[in-house]
Amino acid sequence: MSKINADDLIGIAQLYNNEGREVAYEFISNKGIKYPYSVIKRMKTNPKFTYNKDTDSFKEQSKAHSDDVFMSMQELCSPVSIEPKIHKADNRTEAMEKLIQDLLGDRLLELSKYITLESISKKIIIDQTSLKSAGYKVITH
């Protein structure tokens, strides 16, 4: 059993409009689909097409609606092609350096809450009470 993809749906819509419903059903059946009505029903609910009951025809939408807030199931499930990056090694090292800088910055920020360095008087002021209440242990050697 084969599947009908989006390109086939466009062709089926054109065939449906030009040759009629029976020819479209026959074409779908020749593709290996047991129930051709289900494909036509899918086309009627597909956002790429507009079905006109009066003329019994499909019209392809030229552009997606810009005011649509949510993505359709076809947009969510469509395959996405991802191109490989050329500078993969360079990006990894840059990303690793950025990560290390962020981690060191976070640690220094945490330490600055409890420890103050005074370079002029050569003193280190440690707030042991706050350290202990935050769950740290102070060990000197």
- Domains in the chain: how many in total? 2
Let me know if residue 99 belongs to a domain. no
Q: Amino acid letter at 22?
A: E
Let me know if residue 96 belongs to a domain. no
DSSP summary character for residue 32:
T
Q: What does pTM read for this prediction?
A: 0.42
Render pLDDT for 31-81 as a digit per residue (tens, 0 to 9). 888 888 888 888 888 888 888 888 888 888 765 555 566 777 777 776 665
Let me know if residue 85 belongs to a domain. no
What's the confidence (pLDDT) of residue 123?
92
Let me know if residue 93 belongs to a domain. no
- Rounded to 10 degrees, the C-alpha dihedral 116/118/122/123 comes to -40
Domain range enclosing 123 = 107-141
Dist. CA 128–CA 137, nearest whole Å: 9
Let me know if residue 116 belongs to a domain. yes
Cα–Cα nearest to 21, from 46, 1, 51, 47: 51
Angle formed by the axes of helices 21-30 and 36-45, nearest 10°: 110
Let me know if residue 56 belongs to a domain. yes
Let me know if residue 14 belongs to a domain. yes
